[in-house]
Structure 1
Amino acid sequence: MTVPQTETKTRNVFRRSLGPLAIAALALTTALPAATAAPAAPASGDTASATHRPDAAAAGWLARQLVDGDHFESVFDGTAYPDQGLTVDAVLAFAAARSADQAAARATAWLARPDILSGYLGDGTTEAYAGATAKLLLAAEVRGGDPAAFGGVDLPARLRSLLTPTGRFSDRSQWGDYSNAFGQSLALLALQRTPGGAPAAAADFLAAAQCADGGFPIAFGQPACAADTDATALAAQALAATGRAAKAKAGLDWLTAHQNADGGFAAAGATASNANSTGLAASTLLTGGRFAAGLKGWGSLVKLQQGCAADPAVRGAVAYDASGFNPANAARATAQAVLGLSGQGLAGLSAQGARP
């Protein structure tokens, strides 16, 4: 049996124009001395990192971590398992940074293998997972392939088959329904690119899940509505893309109000900033026109990036938090940090024109 692979944090990458003001601000920030871009100060005469784009540097490091050059793995109890979710995150990160296109092509081909595909999406009959299907559909669209024939699977049709009468995209599985706000938001963003757009009922369902304070929860139908940074950032993008401007604005307001003093964002139930939540929140703020808050988040990510003074093997990587570089979580943190470092939005993300 295939056990559904639930992704507790889904963060992706972006590609919408920042506008002249943000571009100018980013250019000024990028031109700062290298010491601002790494935990350790550069050695004397080391000025190379001042000319490197942080998002491209992060994508370059990420590409070099791919197992066999085409995928990521996660290790549990000493056994390595294919990690399709993280591999998709990397594909989206490469597109956002407009870098590592050859690595992205290899990873996409790996994801389209029937054994890899069924292990991630389910068999499509007794097992079918909404969040995974939505995320892979978005990646297929970003890569410019035919999402209706991805590894022999019609991804848009598979995803639409998981839409319930309430407007919720739900898992079909003997293991239970693990669908959540991440998958719902990704489904809206992915299907909005297809003929006919995203179902209005699905957008209404997500909009109705908004908490009274403007944030969004990860899980639906809980007794108390507890907003989460990652869920709010992703929902704000999805609702903006589907014409729910007022709901999206309330989400942006919530993010702005919950930004830490260091410019970063914390996960639900935590107080310290982390690269994963900050990456998604910063990109959402930048694409939503909240440039001041978005640039603060961008600066927070740059401070977590390993610069030219770091060991060559880790240069470009982004540490999960201020405690320092940890190889156990660096790939996931870096993939998701590229969201904020690139300042791109999911609604228009494309790999077209990315450097090899």
Structure 2
Amino acid sequence: MRRVFVALLCGVALLVPIPASAGVDRADAAAGWLARQMVAGERFEVEFDGVRYPDQGLTIDAVFAFAAARASRGYADRALAWLARPEVSGGYLGTGGEAYAGAHAKLLLAVLVAREDPRAFGGVDLVAGLRGLLAPSGRFSDRSAFGDFSTAFSQSFAVIALDRTREGAPVAAVDFLAGTQCSDGGFPVRFGQSPCVGDVDGTAMAVQALLAADRPVDAREGLAWLTGVQQSSGGFGAPANANSTGLAAQALAAGGEVHAAHRARSFLKSLQVGCAGTPQTRGAIAYDASGFDPATAVRATAQAVPGLTGTPFRALRGGGVAGAPTLSC
């Protein structure tokens, strides 16, 4: 395993890779660090105007990370128990006539990854709820007085999650997603924008969904677009960052782009805090090459771990060790 030096210069962490030495797997260490950041060992929160609110989406990202690393299973179990609370899931899925496609799709996938019953999760049938948001066009749309904010993430998570159910993903939904592809070969995050321009995150999600739904031909140009925008560092995004690179690494691995996926994983490894970091930061993955920042490291680590393992969303399975691994320094 390669390690990472963290040097502090004027208060900024600089990341410099160093040779390998014995220790736990990089993804294990990242999952362990992420687990130790959870509030009460079960959830993440976000602060706005001095008030802290539950962050169900980031908590689900952590569940995906734990499954990819096959580590911190106990934290994943507690996170699912927290998400099953009606006051928690209701605020996320929508109440009072509101229903959000992305939330239904993402939570459904997390429940399936954890091998829990998606038709009776906290008293909610997530499968029926998501299918009820399928528009005649094939788009999974929000039912909300505030408008429809569904995106490529909503659609892709819905296709991937429903593909794992006995009914499978609706053909109309897969067709809709394939039909959002831009002329440049990439996929946008937001639908209906003109001009249509490929986006790394949107393309990585769409490619994973199309491959999960056995539509490799539709995914092929998206994969080619991703390899075409990969930077010399192996990273993706502007600037190259852990979040976008993690998603891209998943898609590239799923599509058999072995060399490009390896380069993306190498970039993610270069962002990981190693034994030269403080004990509190070891294992974390920084957002970008500027170094560890507690404001961005949690989300960066959560979204980087599946890319670090090369495990696409369709293949995530819960389990593994219960504890939160640490680097052996």
Establish whether TM, by shorter chain, passes 0.5: yes
Cα deviations by residue, 1:227-277 (Å, 9 ceiling, x for unpaired): 1101100100100111211111111101000001100000xxxx3200000
1:39 to 15, 25, 49: 15
2:231 pairs with 1:264: no
2:299 pairs with 1:299: no
| 2:108/2:126 contact within 8 Å kept | yes
1:180 corresponds to which residue?
A: 151
2:120 pairs with 1:149: yes
State the SS of the aligned residue for 1:157: helix
Deviation at 1:321, TM superposition (A): 0.5
1:284 corresponds to which residue?
A: 251
State the SS of the aligned residue for 2:28: helix
| 1:275/1:319 contact within 8 Å kept | yes
State the SS of the aligned residue for 1:51: coil
* TM-score for both structures, normalised by structure 1: 0.86
State the SS of the aligned residue for 1:39: strand
Cα deviations by residue, 1:1-59 (Å, 9 ceiling, x for unpaired): xxxxxxxxxxxxxxxxxxxxxxxxxxxxx3x46659x92577xxx965x4321111000
2:131 corresponds to which residue?
A: 160
2:292 pairs with 1:320: no
Deviation at 1:182, TM superposition (A): 0.6
In structure 2, C-alpha distance between the alignment counterparts of 1:65 and 1:51, rounded to whole Å: 21
Question: For structure 1, which segment, 196-205 or 218-227, has the greater mean C-alpha deviation from structure 2 after superposition?
Answer: 218-227
1:22 corresponds to which residue?
A: none
Give the letter aligned to residue 226 of structure 1. V
Between the aligned residues of both structures, percent identity stands at 56
Deviation at 1:88, TM superposition (A): 0.3
4+ residue segments displaced more than 3 Å: 32-36, 352-356
In structure 1, C-alpha distance between the alignment counterparts of 2:173 and 2:236, rounded to whole Å: 28
In structure 2, C-alpha distance between the alignment counterparts of 1:241 and 1:336, rounded to whole Å: 19
**Structure 2 unaligned blocks of 5 or more:** 7-13, 324-329
| 2:5/2:275 contact within 8 Å kept | no
1:333 to 284, 289, 300: 300
User: Higher strand fraction: Structure 1 or Structure 2?
Assistant: 2
Give the letter aligned to residue 309 of structure 2. S
In structure 2, C-alpha distance between the alignment counterparts of 1:235 and 1:41, rounded to whole Å: 32
2:223 pairs with 1:252: yes
1:222 to 190, 193, 196: 193
1:205 corresponds to which residue?
A: 176
In structure 1, C-alpha distance between the alignment counterparts of 2:251 and 2:17, rounded to whole Å: 30
**Structure 1 unaligned blocks of 5 or more:** 1-29
State the SS of the aligned residue for 2:273: coil
In structure 1, C-alpha distance between the alignment counterparts of 2:3 and 2:245, rounded to whole Å: 22
State the SS of the aligned residue for 1:149: coil
